[in-house]
A = this chain, B = another copy of it.
Amino acid sequence: MKCTIIGATGYTAVELIRMIEQHPHLEIVSLVSDSKATESITEIYTFMNKKNYSLLREFSLAHLEEVGTELIFLATPSGISKQYLEQLKDWKGKVIDLSGDLRLDQISYEHWYEKPAVEPMIQATATYGLSEWNREAIKTSRLIANPGCYATAVLLGLLPFLKEQVIEPVPIIIHASSGLSGAGKSFSEQTHHVRSNENMRLYKMNRHQHIPEIESVIQTVTGQDAIVSFATHLIPINRGIMATMTLTPRINKSETQWREWLQAFYENEPFVRINGNDPEIKSVVGSNYCDLTIYADARTGHLTVVSVIDNMQKGAVGQAIQNANLMCGYEEALGLTQQPLFI
Contact = CB atoms under 8 A, between A and B. Distances in A.
A108 interface: no
Contact of A194 (B171, B181, B203): B181
Given A191-B192, A202-B293, A282-B198, A233 B244 contact: yes
A195 B181 CA distance: 10
Contact of A300 (B227, B291, B340): B227
B343 A239 contact: yes
Given A193-B180, A200-B281, A343 B14 contact: yes
A298 to B, nearest CB: 9
A194 B21 CA distance: 22
Contacts of A7: none
A257 interface: no
Contacts of A192: 185, 187, 191-193
B339 A21 contact: yes
Contacts of A286: 286, 341
Given A192-B187, A339-B48, A199 B237 contact: yes
A181 B283 CA distance: 17
A240 interface: yes
Given A194-B191, A229-B246, A300-B171, A343 B202 contact: no
B175 A244 contact: yes
Interface residues of A, number: 86
A128 to B, nearest CB: 22
A203 B244 CA distance: 12
A227 B233 CA distance: 24
Contact of A280 (B193, B199, B283, B337): B199
A312 interface: yes
Nearest to A234: B280
Given A177-B235, A229-B300, 19 more contacts: A21-B338, A22-B337, A22-B338, A47-B283, A47-B342, A171-B246, A175-B175, A177-B200, A177-B233, A192-B193, A193-B236, A198-B285, A199-B280, A199-B281, A199-B282, A202-B306, A206-B304, A227-B300, A231-B304
